[in-house]
Amino acid sequence: MSTSDLYTSFFGFSERPFTLLPDPDFLYWSPAHTRAFSVLEYGVVTRAPLTVITGEVGAGKTTLVQHLIKTLDENVKVGLISNAQGGRGDLLRWVLNALDIIPPAHDDYIAAFQKFQDYLIEEYADGNHVVLIIDEAQNLSVEALEELRMLTNVNSNKDELLQLILVGQPELRDIISRPDLRQFAQRVSATYHIKPMELDMTVRYITHRLKHVSGTGKEFARTAMDKIHEETGGIPRLVNKLCDLALVYTAGSGKKKVTLKVIEELLEDDLFVNTQNTPPLLLTPQNRLIRAVAE
């Protein structure tokens, strides 16, 4: 039996409803995700220099970014960087690679920056604008964030030639609020934090994904979904993980409905490990000045 057919045939699904990989086709538009996407669109439409989206691991940030990329016009040139690391100068190399700019191997920083600046000006002259999206941005050093701010200084009169979208975990908000990054924070036009789903939203989320793969949406008992929310805290990726295991267990027993007992057995067998028991970080007073326009 293949991995893709762990239980799909048994339940009559067209595919697995609860995979862990980001997939825009499965996107469930909870109020939080709708607002976060509005902030992303606001940043692109207004050509804001900096937009910040945060959320816990597995909150659906990357899925939103992928959906955004699919909806952008042809005149928007997108560079996507995931988990960039390194010291000063390394970030510029990441940026150039993301935008498919290949500088000579022996270029120094000044030459590489000139290559980047020429690219922005050429795209602007052709009626395009450039959006650079950095995922897992909480891993960037203070020096790298300051370097990003300097990249946004390339402009043409009143028009921004480069837009930055930073996506990261909750600690990114605290990093931005540091006193030594106040110039960076001042360039942030909008920020939004995706909170975990509440119980009723978790129930709708599970039902949505089941129906998306031709299920009835009633494969999980309500008591099972209540327990799933309790154990996962409403984090979509954790919900997916627990639901996927529950379907495997249920199909293995020859039953068609996931019950509370199945979830309890999974937990007793230690097959589900929740490594995300810490609550989201709160906004600091300094960061309140860059709260989301959607809130």
pLDDT digits (tens, 9 = 90+) for 97-106: 999 988 767 7
Q: How far is CA 23 from CA 6, 64, 96, 107, in A?
A: 19, 9, 26, 38
Tell the CATH superfamily of the 31-196 domain.
P-loop containing nucleotide triphosphate hydrolases (3.40.50.300)
pLDDT at position 104? 66
Find the angle CA(269)-CA(270)-CA(271) to the nearest 5 degrees: 95
* pTM for the whole structure: 0.79
How many angstroms separate the CA atoms of 218 and 191, rounded?
36
Please list, in sequence order, all residues whose beta carbon lies within 8 angstroms of the beta carbon of residue 71, skipping any fewer than 6 positions away. none
- Locate CATH 3.40.50.300 in the chain: 31-196
Is residue 290 predicted with pLDDT exceeding 50?
no
DSSP 189: E
The residue type of 198 is: E
**Mean pLDDT score, 26-40:** 89
Look-up of token digits 């538009």: 29
Please list, in sequence order, all residues whose beta carbon lies within 8 angstroms of the beta carbon of residue 91, skipping any fewer than 6 positions away. 84, 140, 144, 147, 148
pLDDT digits (tens, 9 = 90+) for 99-130: 998 876 777 888 888 899 999 999 999 999 89
How many angstroms separate the CA atoms of 210 and 107, rounded?
52
Confidence of residue 80 (pLDDT cuts 50, 70, 90): very high
Q: Are 216 and 210 in contact (CB under 8 A)?
A: yes
